[in-house]
Structure 1
Amino acid sequence: MQTSYKTLIVDDERLARNELKRLLKAHPECEVVAEAASAKEALKVLAQQSIDLVFLDIQMPEVSGIELAQDIPACTRFVFCTAFNSYALDAFSLNAIDYLLKPVAPERLAKTIARLPAVGSTEHAPDPATQLPAAHYLPEHHGILLKFGDINRIVRLHEIYRFESVGNHAAVYSSHGKSFLHSSLARIEQKLDPSFYFKASRADIIRLDAIEHIEAGISAGSMLAVLHDGQQIDVSRRQAQQLRLLFSSL
């Protein structure tokens, strides 16, 4: 039976790798078996041996941690670590266990380790190849890195009930509050399962189960979708017809 998570630390700074190794000594369930100073070195390690858990820096030369995450085997869990608490990233590339801000606090690391299934558990990391529907929509448990004030938080897709176009960004509304993504609404829409999300207009995508009730809109044929938090979302005349058909078929 497996007695520990074989762990790889990826960071271009040696001192940062050493500090994380020191902190992980308090967690014998995480056995550091390798380290890498670049994404290239990390991929070589991953090809040569079985790794259960990866701690990876985001800001690295040539290939970032975000890009490296794309090539980590689906059965391997990973945690992002970074010294930067404010930056733009393609949030839809993220399906991490957690996100740690440097310098890593021991108590914060302990919470991350607690998210892992018990060593020897038969539970496996989700395989995106088996989780995504044929249209390649993101699964409901998919994590998105969002910033709320000074706090960076991984928010699962099922917690998000509205995406609003704001310039070249999108405002994201969830149970944790309002945050922003550097992404267009059109790009976001491509990744959302229409079974759960509805494009109300060119400016808004809303979660269907967040709609409390529907009212007539100001203009002829338009509608207002009133969400569970009281927000009133304009539904264009064209989309209003689709929304009526959708709810009449439920």
Structure 2
Amino acid sequence: MYNCLLVDDERLARAELKRLLSAHPECVIVAEAANASEALTCLTTQSIDLVFLDIQMPGITGLQLAQQIQASTQFIFCTAYNSFALNAFELNAVDYLLKPIAPERLAKALQKLRPTSNSAAAHYLAEQHGILLKFGDSQRVVKLSEISRFESIGNHAAVYTPYGKSFIHSSLSKIEQKLDPALFFKASRADIVRISAISQIEPAIAEGSLIAVLDDGQRVDVSRRQAQLLKQQFSAF
């Protein structure tokens, strides 16, 4: 189940989204907001798992608001403009829906959601869980604790191990659902890294972004939205 917040300055747009979401009982609408200020109040006073977010709003835009949403809260942009898609995905949006929203597009977007923390905990793979990977002409069982990185490549994922790089036929979002966030960190839409494999954190050229340097020398871009959360991973006090 996902506690949902609808953020749109148009009441009719919120009403239409509520109608579409009525076909998805896993989405429970707990709050609505007509602007970013109201949305921030909801986010700080209620438990919100998923935000449906318009972009063009008076005052603070949806893109600016998204930068203030905690990384544990997922969000989907719902807008009449397609020109902000790149900015949206740089902020790790789950999806980018164009109004009027087609029911099938909404359903597809919801399939990309991570499980909420309460429902996912029992489904995380153990650190010693083995995965059968192919390296050249041979196959090897590799433990999760040996994997340093999962990288999205089309509809596959590259898996980086001490034995070389292998590939699995799975999306990064499906892989993320099985990984314990206490052990693995989603650096961006394209990368998940094992936290214990990170040896250094460096500033990136893009303002607010970081680079995670792994033990094996790999350099992984960390998006602006995830940068602060990564620093928190290594804060003890």
> What is the TM-score normalised by the length of structure 1?
0.50
2:69 is equivalent to residue 72 of structure 1: yes
2:47 is equivalent to residue 50 of structure 1: yes
Q: Secondary structure at the match of 1:33?
A: strand
- Alignment partner, residue 239 of structure 1: none
- Alignment partner, residue 105 of structure 2: 108
- Alignment partner, residue 14 of structure 2: 17
- Confirm or deny: 8 A CA contact 2:77 2:88 kept in the other structure: no
- Confirm or deny: 8 A CA contact 1:66 1:93 kept in the other structure: no
Q: Distance in 1 between matches of 2:87 and 2:115?
A: 31
Gaps of 5+ in 1: 133-138, 144-155, 159-184, 198-250
2:65 is equivalent to residue 85 of structure 1: no
Q: Distance in 2 between matches of 1:109 and 1:92?
A: 17
Report % sequence identity: 54
Q: Distance in 2 between matches of 1:186 and 1:76?
A: 26
Q: Secondary structure at the match of 2:20?
A: helix
Q: Distance in 1 between matches of 2:99 and 2:7?
A: 14
State how 1:21-40 maps to structure 2 within 5 Å: 21-40=18-37
Q: Secondary structure at the match of 1:121?
A: helix
Q: Give the drift of 1:196.
A: 3.8
State how 1:36-185 maps to structure 2 within 5 Å: 36-87=33-84, 90=87, 93-118=90-115, 120-122=119-121, 131=185, 139=187, 142-143=188-189, 156=190
Q: Give the drift of 1:74.
A: 2.3
Q: Distance in 2 between matches of 1:48 and 1:10?
A: 15
Of 2, 5, 8 in structure 1, the residue corresponding to residue 5 of structure 2 is 8
Q: Give the drift of 1:80.
A: 1.1
Q: Distance in 2 between matches of 1:63 and 1:117?
A: 27
Gaps of 5+ in 2: 125-175, 193-203, 221-237
Q: Distance in 1 between matches of 2:47 and 2:23?
A: 22
Deviates more, 1:87-96 or 1:16-25: 87-96
Q: Distance in 2 between matches of 1:91 and 1:106?
A: 21
Residue 99 to residue 131, structure 1, CA distance change in 2 (3 Å): same
- Alignment partner, residue 171 of structure 2: none
Q: Distance in 2 between matches of 1:94 and 1:196?
A: 20
Q: Give the drift of 1:75.
A: 1.8
Q: Give the drift of 1:117.
A: 3.7
Q: Give the drift of 1:100.
A: 1.0
- Confirm or deny: 8 A CA contact 1:70 1:93 kept in the other structure: no
Q: Give the drift of 1:115.
A: 1.4
Q: Deviations over 1:202-244 (max 9, x none)?
A: xxxxxxxxxxxxxxxxxxxxxxxxxxxxxxxxxxxxxxxxxxx
Q: Give the drift of 1:187.
A: 3.0
- Confirm or deny: 8 A CA contact 1:10 1:55 kept in the other structure: yes
**Equivalent residue pairs, number:** 148
Residue 37 to residue 191, structure 1, CA distance change in 2 (3 Å): same
Q: Secondary structure at the match of 2:206?
A: helix
